[in-house]
Amino acid sequence: MRDHQQIRQREQILKRRTGIQKAIGLSLLGAAVGTQADEVLPLYDLGAVQVTATPSQLGEVGGDQASSVITLDEIRRYNRDNVGDALDLLPGVTVSTNSRNEKTVYVRGFDSRQVPLFIDGIPVYVPYDGYVDFNRFTTADLSAIQVAKGFSSVTYGPNALGGAINLISRKPTREIEGDLSLGYGEGNERTASVNLGSNQGLWYVQAGASWVESDDFRLSSDFDPTPTEDGDERENSYRRDDKVSLKIGLTPNDTDEYALSYYRQSGEKGQPPSTDPSYARYWQWPYWDKESLYFISNTALGETESVKIRLYHDEYDNAVESYTDDTYTRLKTSGRGSVGSAGKSVYEDRTNGGSIELRSTRFERQDLRFSVQLKKDEHKADDTIERTEHFEDTLTTVGLEDNIALRDNLTLSLGVAWSELSADTVYKASDPVPEPDDQSATNAQAGLFWDLDQVGRIYGTIAGKTRFPTLKDRYSLRLGNAVPNPDLEAEQSINYEIGYQGTPWGRVHLETAVFLSDVTDLIQQVDNVEDDKYQMQNVGEVRVTGWELSASAPIGTHWEVGGNLTLLDRENRSDPDTKLTGVPDRKITAHLLFRPIERLEALLFVEHEGPRWESDSVELDAYTTANLKLSYRPVDDLVLEARLDNLADADYELADGYPSAGRMWFINARYEF
């Protein structure tokens, strides 16, 4: 009798925990672009983010956020070969290209310093300025991309002021699996990738390699030539990126997993000069390299507790060369706009860090997590003569999360985190600055998630977040135009959101949210602080409000339609006369998919973005582009693709003086096994 009661009690506890975990897991599925929810669920590549009845899978970074997910199928369907282009598929996300020929990403108006990038939950950004060039991160070896907006797990650590972007690597599920892709396009673009994986039960291995190289890209035929750009092929727009990855994993039982990953990225690029001669810079980047070693483990400590460990080492090496003119033969030696005293700067940035996360489901109807993180950033800069900079920071975070099942379909998620920034080394040869005091921040958040059977999820969240200033924010002279401010403090935001994700009827998938963010102590430029120089200061107060809508549905057996809408309003409350730049007030996408026969598919994708301010006096025009793609599968394992981007050959800019590509064609073949 006692044994029967114990079995029944264990069944009831398991049912309660599973209810919590189902509720949490649903929030992670999001709305994949152009894909129905029932198609997303079976994909093994989402296993990295879904909380299951066993301890968390590798790559999972928190089960409490209502996040959007881009799957491998979407990446392939829309041929998004780099992370920036893939993220552009989502509502609330806009992409731009800055004057350094870097692809930048904004999430609900927050830039990539405020919505940082992660790989399997490990922070990945250049320590000096907090940015990454999303063009440099290819997607060939990914299984999915997860984007949390506003409300995000405290296990991400500090600086997730407006959310977080997590790249989820692949994990094989069969004894042998892989794919091979080859492509060619206008501008003499060549692409190749290969992925190979094997899962042997007790262990697995996953390897990948990718390469993309292009001589240039073509401008629109409507582009008007200028003294620094004659049209046709864009000047100095060459690029090359290659990447290798290797992951070895051990799964000794059903609960434990240990994985060691290695990544090596190598790149080089030209920086097209501004079409305005007065702002033209003749820069080239002979290398932009990243090398990484990651270890992630998940170990059960009994029936109700587990521990996850992440350890990582990142190396970022790049160099920039500044030339006197468009012949790119003579380096600058002095004068305004010079990179260094000899026209060349070499940057060496390093990151070492780790985290420990303890998880417990011991308490009835609760999933409790406690985490501790330590991240040490180092930046060194040299010109051809001397060491010019050496900075080191340490970031420490302690976090606690509790997901409480108030009812079987109602979950309350609570989180609190304390973070500290310590400056360990401050050296600048040209302008010595004092070492600043340590600074800290405490953040709290709460979310309520109501799951409706076969309908979806309704949720409401509120999250307090912090972003600490970067090394560049505090110490950079900005090419001699700025005064350093080592005492800069952290930016603060409170993010509110009410939303819905699910299938309200039939196979129609819907995702919608209204949101508001109040940002204070925003780091902004203050002019004429000293000798006509500016300084970065905590003077900004901004309110961001918006609405997102994403929907997709099949029509019969041959058609599918879908799209998304983003409306965004950013109010500069501290200085209404100063424009907030870089982000349009609206974004609309739509796709139409046609399958006349099982093996043939035609896809039309249209995107419209409203005007965006480049400065207080320059507003870039709205634009609309359309892409068309044909895919044919002659046999089950082979896909042949041809596409035209920017069908109408629209002439538009995402940054003033830097026109985007005109009509471009590409062909691609992919073999899967």
**Average pLDDT, integer, range 217-244:** 96
Token pair recorded at residue 567: 């409306």
Q: Retrieve residue 243's tokens.
A: 């990447």
Give the tokens for residue 418. Answer: 């304390």
CB 535 within 8 A of CB 526: yes
| Band (411; pLDDT cuts 50, 70, 90) | very high
Residue 6 predicted with pLDDT over 80: no
Return the pLDDT at 383: 80
Tell me which residue has tokens 């001699």.
480
- Once rounded to an integer, what is the mean pLDDT over residues 436-447? 96
How confident is the model over 457-484, as a mean pLDDT?
Answer: 92
Instruction: Reply yes or no on whether the pLDDT at 34 is more than 90.
Output: no
Query: CA 508, CA 116: separation in Å to the nearest integer?
Result: 32
Instruction: Look at residue 454 in the predicted model and tell me its pLDDT.
Output: 83
Burial class (CB in 10 A: 0-12, 13-18, 19+), 196: middle
- The vertex-233 CA angle with 230 and 234, nearest 5°, equals 75
Rounded to an integer, what distance in angstroms lies between the CA atom of residue 621 and that of residue 475? 35
Stated pTM of the model: 0.90
User: 581, 667, 673: which is closest to 632 by C-alpha?
Assistant: 667
Task: Evaluate whether 61 touches 121 at the Cβ level (below 8 Å).
Answer: yes
> Could you give the percent of the chain with pLDDT greater than 70?
89
579 near 613, Cβ under 8 Å?
yes
Give the count of domains, the chain: 1
Mean pLDDT, residues 114-130: 93
Query: What is the pLDDT at residue 41?
Result: 33
Count of CB atoms situated within 10 Å of the CB of 596: 10
Asked whether the CA dihedral 196, 117, 653, 267 is positive or negative, the reply is negative
Q: Quick one: tokens of 624?
A: 């609309």
Residue position matching structure tokens 């940057």: 347
Q: Quick one: average pLDDT of 109-125?
A: 94
Residue 22 structure tokens: 């189902």
With 80 as the cut, is the pLDDT of residue 242 above it? yes
Query: Average pLDDT for residues 521-540, to the nearest whole number?
Result: 91
CA distance 334 to 340: 8
Average pLDDT for 437-459: 93
pLDDT band at 15 (very low <50, low <70, confident <90, very high): very low
**What's the pLDDT score for residue 66?**
59
Task: Kindly report the average pLDDT of the chain as a whole number.
Answer: 88
> How is residue 591 written in tokens?
């796709």
At residue 369 the predicted structure's pLDDT band, cuts being 50, 70 and 90, is very high
Tokens standing for residue 209: 């390699």
Question: What whole-number distance in Å separates Cα of residue 612 and Cα of residue 590?
Answer: 21
pLDDT score of 377 more than 70: yes
CA 592 to CA 33: how far, in whole Å?
Answer: 12
pLDDT tens for each residue of 636-669: 999 999 999 999 999 999 999 999 999 999 999 9
E-strand stretches of 324-472: 344-360, 366-383, 387-407, 410-428, 439-452, 456-467
Rounded mean pLDDT, 139-149: 92
pLDDT bin (cut points 50, 70, 90) of residue 623 is very high
Mean pLDDT of 38-57: 34
Q: For 251-299, write each residue's pLDDT tens digit.
A: 999 999 999 999 999 999 999 999 999 999 999 999 999 999 999 999 9
Residue range(s) defining the domain that contains residue 17: 2-672
* pLDDT reported for residue 55: 37
Residue 123 CB contacts under 8 Å (≥ 6 apart), including other chains: 116, 117, 156, 157, 159, 351, 353, 375
The pLDDT value recorded for residue 11 is: 42
Residue whose tokens read 């509110």: 496
Tell whether the model's pLDDT for residue 368 goes beyond 50.
Answer: yes
Report how far residue 486's alpha carbon sits from residue 478's, in angstroms, rounded to the nearest whole number.
14
Confidence of residue 434 (pLDDT cuts 50, 70, 90): confident
- Are the C-beta atoms of residues 62 and 78 closer than 8 Å to each other? no
In eight-state DSSP terms, residue 277 is: G
What's the whole-number mean pLDDT along residues 521-532? Answer: 90
Distance, C-alpha 643 to centroid of its chain: 25
How far is the C-alpha of 644 from the C-alpha of 623, rounded, in Å?
A: 17
Confidence of residue 673 (pLDDT cuts 50, 70, 90): very high
Of 180-189, 446-455, 563-572, 603-612, least confident by mean pLDDT is 446-455
Q: What is the pLDDT of residue 99?
A: 77
The number of angstroms, rounded, from the C-alpha of 75 to the middle of its chain's C-alpha atoms is 14
Q: Give residue 98's pLDDT.
A: 82
Rounded CA separation 174/303 (Å): 28
Return the CATH number at 248. 2.40.170.20
